[in-house]
Structure 1
Amino acid sequence: MKIISWNVNGIRACQTKGLVPWMIASGADCLCFQETKANREQLNDEMLAVADYKAVFASAEKKGYSGVATYYRQEPLSVNLLGAAEFDQEGRTLILEFEDFFLLNCYFPNSQDGGARLDYKLAFCAAALEKCRELCATGKHIVMCGDYNIAHQPIDLARPKENETSAGYLPEEREWMSTFLNAGYVDSFRLFDSSPGKYTWWSFRARARERNVGWRIDYHCVDEAFRDRVKSAAIFPEVMGSDHCPVSIELA
C-alpha cells in the first residue's frame, strides 16, 4: 500500500495549481491532506470525485482554518476522530482502520511565536501518543502521518542554531518527539535516508525553497513492530502547490 501525506495549505488553492491531476498520477492508495481550510460542502465536483477515490473530511469549526482530509481506494473498516473535543473542533485528526493497521492523518498545532500555543501543542502531542498506544493495544499496527510541525534533530532544518527559539524547534517539542520515538515508534524516512538537506517545508520568504533553506516537519511514523513492512519512504520537493511538499511511505 502506498500512502502519501501532504500539507496542501488550502485544498481549494492547491486545486488551482494542479492538485487533481497530481493525485491521479500519484499511484497512491491513500492520500492524506492537512491544512485543508475547507469542509466538504465548499469543494467542487472535481475535488469530490477524483478517479476511484472516496474521501472523508475532518474540518475545523472555524471557517478557512486547519482541517484534514483522507482520500482512499480501499474501504476502511472504520473512520474516527481523535476523540478529544478541544482538538476535534479544529479538525486535527482522522483515523482510518484497515485490516492490520490504523492510519492516523494528523495536523499537529503550530506552537506559534513565543510559544503562544505551546501548551495546546503539547497536549495534542500527548493525546496523539496515547491514541497510538491505545490502537496498538488492539493488536494492530499504526501509521501516523502528517504535518507534525516539529523538526526533531539539527539535521532536520537548514539553520538549527538560528532557530533554537522558533516554533517547531522548541526544546519541549523536540523532547516530545524523542519521547514518542523512544516509546516504540519509527521515523520511516530515516530508515532509508540519513543525509542532511532533506526538507518538507520552506518559508515563502527570501527564496527559501529555491535555496533549500527548509525544515523537515512532515512524517510517516510507524510502530516498531511494523518497520519491516516499510518498503520505502520518500520526500518529493519538486512537487509544487504549497509551502510543504508531499511525503510518501510504501508498505509491503
Structure 2
Amino acid sequence: MRIISFCADGIKQATQNGFFEWVVEQDADIICIQDLRCQEYDLTDNVFFPEGYYGYFFDSPSGVNGVAIYVRQIPKAIMTGLGFGESDMHARYIQADYDNISIGCILAPDVADGSPTAVEEKAVFFDQLAGHLNKIRNKRREFIICGNWQMAHQDIDLQSPEDNEDCSGFLPFERQWMDNLYHELGYIDAFRTINNDSDEFTWWPNGERGKNGWRVDLQVISNGMRSTVEYGAAYKSKEFSSHAPLIMDYDYELISG
C-alpha cells in the first residue's frame, strides 16, 4: 500500500506546478492533500479528479485551508472533523475507514502570525487531539494519520534548530507534545522507522530550498503498523509548493480478503 501526503499551499497553484501530472504516475493507493485554499466546487477541471480515484473533500467555510483524500478503493465510511468544537475550526481533518484500518488527513492549526491567541488555540487543539488519539488507540483497528502537523519534534528535524527555538512549531510545549505522542501514547513516526538522516526536510518556510528546512509533514501510525513500513521518501526533484510530498509504502492490504 502506497500513501502520498502533500501540503499544497493551494491546490490550484500546485496543479499548475505539475503536482497531479506527477502524482498519478506514482501508483499510490491513497493521496492525502492539505491546504487546498479553495472549495471543492471551485475545482471544475478534470485534472483535479484523476481517473481511477475517488476524491473526498472537507472544505473550510472561509476557503482558507481544506483537506482532501483520494482513494482507489471506496471506503466503508468517511469522517470529517474531530468534534472538538471551536478549536476544530482552526484545523481540518478527514478520515477514510476501511475494514481494519483508518487513514486520516490532517492540517494542524497555523500560527503564522505568532500571536498569543493563535498559539493558545493551537495548544488547545493539540490537547484535545492527544485525548482523541489516546481513545482510539484502544480500538481494534490500525491508524495512519498523514499531513502537515505544523511542528517539528527534534533538532534533527530542523536545518537550523538553534535559530528556531522561539518559533511556533518548535516551542517547548510542542516538542513535549510530540514526545508524549510517541513515548506515552505509543504512536510512531513512520518515516523515522527507516530513515534517521539529519537532512530530510519537507518544508521550507521562506520557499527557498536548502535554507531553514523543517520536517513537519508526517505519516503517524499506530503501533501495530510498525513492522509494515517498507519505504519512505520526501520527493524533492520538483517543487509543487513550499512542501515536499511524503511517499510511504506499507506491506498492508487495504481491504482484507
- Taking structure 1 as the reference length, what is the TM-score of the superposition? 0.92
Instruction: Give the structure 2 partner of residue 4 of structure 1.
Output: 4
Count of residues paired in the alignment: 248
Instruction: Give the structure 1 partner of residue 255 of structure 2.
Output: none
Instruction: Give the structure 2 partner of residue 107 of structure 1.
Output: 107
Gaps of 5+ in 1: none
Instruction: Give the structure 1 partner of residue 67 of structure 2.
Output: 68
Instruction: Give the structure 1 partner of residue 195 of structure 2.
Output: 193
CA distance in 1, matches of 2:100, 2:192: 23
User: Structure 2 matches for 1:58-207, cutoff 5 A?
Assistant: 58-63=58-63, 65-81=64-80, 82-90=82-90, 92-112=92-112, 113-182=114-183, 183-204=185-206
* Shift in Å, 1:91: 5.6
Partner SS state of residue 237, structure 1? coil
CA distance in 2, matches of 1:127, 1:233: 29
Cα pair 1:7 1:242 within 8 Å, conserved: yes
Distance 1:148 1:71, change over 3 A: same
Runs of 4+ in 1 over 3 A off after TM superposition: 87-91
- Structure 2 counterpart of 1:179, one-letter code: N
* Shift in Å, 1:132: 2.6
Cα pair 1:10 1:37 within 8 Å, conserved: yes
- Structure 1 counterpart of 2:8, one-letter code: V
- Taking structure 2 as the reference length, what is the TM-score of the superposition? 0.91
* Shift in Å, 1:212: 4.4
CA distance in 1, matches of 2:23, 2:153: 29
* Shift in Å, 1:20: 1.9
Partner SS state of residue 166, structure 2? coil
Q: In the TM superposition, what whole-angstrom CA distance separates every residue of 1:77-98 from its partner, at most 9, and x where no partner exists?
A: 1111222332444561001111
RMSD value over aligned CA atoms? 1.6
CA distance in 1, matches of 2:130, 2:55: 25
Partner SS state of residue 25, structure 2? helix
Instruction: Give the structure 2 partner of residue 22 of structure 1.
Output: 22
Percent of aligned positions with the same letter in both sequences? 27
- Structure 2 counterpart of 1:217, one-letter code: V
CA distance in 1, matches of 2:74, 2:178: 31
Gaps of 5+ in 2: 252-257
Q: In the TM superposition, what whole-angstrom CA distance separates every residue of 1:25-59 from its partner, at most 9, and x where no partner exists?
A: 12111100011111210102324421211111111
Q: In the TM superposition, what whole-angstrom CA distance separates every residue of 1:151-180 from its partner, at most 9, and x where no partner exists?
A: 110111111111110111111111111111
